[in-house]
Structure 1
């Protein structure tokens, strides 16, 4: 029977295409990873990788072997992680990716209770607005919206992802009353530029009757972050189209008010992403259940809905 460490080095190297990167994630040296893979190849009698100075590429035999062992390897890894949990309690490093501002506003405040409930879990939380490769980069979970759903990853809906129009009361006082979407055409707009694509998306506005009209606001400036757009709108510089979670603190403080409150942009859902597997590590299952519980207890799905 081949050693678990040799197979682990092979699987991780195949995922990232590099002995050096696999070594970093496994806390080994690149030489140790390379020797483990070479030992596995010698035992199997086949070459698993084509090696170059830039990247590892799986051979046909390597691709076939990866398909056959990857699922079983993950099951064994999860079983070991769960068995190693101290006194049956979830334990280990919990690597989670989430949006910078969303995480700070709505996930970080939950940390104290989470740690109190699961003291053997060590959070390793990454704040980034870019989409990550959850499995390839070794994350246990991710929170966000608009993720591509690769094979092996599931999404649990947490809240709707609605965008709304907001402006400062002083700005609205200086302009004619906005009664319908066509009234926006004469106003300065603060729009969001995608940090991934660099483009400003053409959003349709939707009302409660599911009627849609184009968002015909004049593009005065763009931001790559909804929280920044809220801060700019607060200065009276225009009407901003922003994500509801970021607008909420400003709306509650009264520094921004909704424009055309019957209209909004439907941007899908904010979801909790994690690997699809019957035997999740205890730490991941604990985090998933905790976040779903807390979002329900705080009514965040209702608070983030533009329809209420």
Structure 2
């Protein structure tokens, strides 16, 4: 199976290395292209057998699966370059949420899916969000979900739920790590506990909490009841959180939804106005994959 990755920046490289470490793909399966060829060549030096393509079109041509791992505003340029080599039998995968499946189905003949990954796939954890276009067949879904299950738990989603699901699965590690960062800093400042010890304690706590909410079958409410004895220390802390966090998460969701909608409007304009112009240029558009999820 030939698998192309257009864009080998942060998320593209993460996915490539996760798939290789899991054994789901082998270096000789992979054809890479990137605006900065050095990034693809670095991966090829780490994993002998990887093919570094001279252009996006060369990487995509003949591939069974084409992952497009570039910033949203690079999509029209990339699509313009690879459109002529794509076939109806190929699977083209977007890993960025603002790019609608309908946008891509209007531009290329291939079967389109959207898979939103997470940084935690680098440790073969977390969920991958799987959204399928109308041309994707059951056997295609099975192939993609088997591939993603090697590094994550694939979860089929409606495209309308992509943004909020991405907030939790993909943005969530950054949001939760920010909370941990603030908590640990306060602990160090107010009590003198060692920063390293506090980080280890919090990381192990997060790992165990996740397992209780999955393998342990507890709901968040049940977990709180199990830990918080009435009148105890945990109950005091929960009261502070309940008081101070009112409105924080609705505001967070409103902000990410607002940015998502603005990105979609901008992308629609780019696809409508720039695809033809981008298709006429001879300059490869190998966007790096610092992908916004």
Q: Greater helix percent: which structure?
A: 2
The structure having more radius of gyration, on CA atoms, is 1
* Structure possessing the higher relative contact order (Cα contacts under 8 Å, 6 or more residues apart): 2
